Amino acid sequence: MKRDLWVAIGCAIIGIWISSGSVRLGLWRMGNPDAGLYPLLIGLGIILLSVILLFVTIWGKRAGQKETPILGPRWKNLFLILGGLLFYFLALDRVGFPLTTFLFMTFVLKAIESQRWPPVLLLAFFSTSACYVVFSLWIKIEFPKGILGF
């Protein structure tokens, strides 16, 4: 219970810090969102979630309920994900966004929570495609092209 309480307080402080910094960037200018609007929404979301965690921590725990360790029995997954993110970071410019994202998603879905191959490949393909369509085609963010050329 103490750990959850401190996490809620720490996250609330981080959310307040992000929100106050985003207001200084400006929220709205000439009828359009300014640079601080999105960070403000993220900061407010962090504050909201930390308040929910605070209430659950204070009023939601039952007597005799044991606190689980921070990493628990699946601590190896943390290092697998960090290794996958390191691969993603190093390969993104050379290999390109679509293929690197597909490989990363496949790795996370298969290695972390072992699933059958067909759902893993389908989910990796559709999540990569959705990200590419939304960010590259719709919002027009340029991603590294890599070896596939798109």
pLDDT digits (tens, 9 = 90+) for 32-70: 888 889 999 999 999 999 999 998 888 876 555 666 666
The pLDDT of residue 46 is 96
Residue 86, domain member (yes or no): yes
Residue 68, domain member (yes or no): no
Q: Which residue has the higher pLDDT, 112 or 80?
A: 80
Average pLDDT estimate for 87-92: 93
Residue 18, domain member (yes or no): yes
The pLDDT of residue 64 is 58
- Of 98, 105, 92, nearest in space to 137 by CA: 98
Residues 53 and 79 in one domain: no
Residue 80, domain member (yes or no): yes
DSSP reduced 3-state for 35: coil
**Share of residues in the chain with pLDDT > 90 (%):** 47
The pLDDT of residue 5 is 86
The pLDDT of residue 17 is 95
- Euclidean distance between CA atoms 19 and 96, whole angstroms: 33
**Share of residues in the chain with pLDDT > 70 (%):** 90
Residue 27, domain member (yes or no): yes
- Of 137, 135, 110, nearest in space to 121 by CA: 110
The pLDDT of residue 91 is 92
Domain of 19 in residue numbering reads as 2-59
The pLDDT of residue 68 is 62
Contact 62, 113 (CB under 8 A): no
Residue 64, domain member (yes or no): no
Residues 83 and 108 in one domain: yes
Burial class (CB in 10 A: 0-12, 13-18, 19+), 97: buried
Whether 74 has a pLDDT exceeding 80, the answer reads no
Residue 143, domain member (yes or no): no
Average pLDDT estimate for 93-119: 90
Residues 79 and 129 in one domain: yes
Look at residues 35, 59, 83 and tell me which one is the last residue of a structural domain. 59
Task: Count structural domains, the chain.
Answer: 2
Residues 82 and 110 in one domain: yes
Whether 123 has a pLDDT exceeding 90, the answer reads yes
- Alpha helices per DSSP H over the chain: 2-25, 37-59, 76-95, 97-107, 117-131
- Euclidean distance between CA atoms 40 and 36, whole angstroms: 6
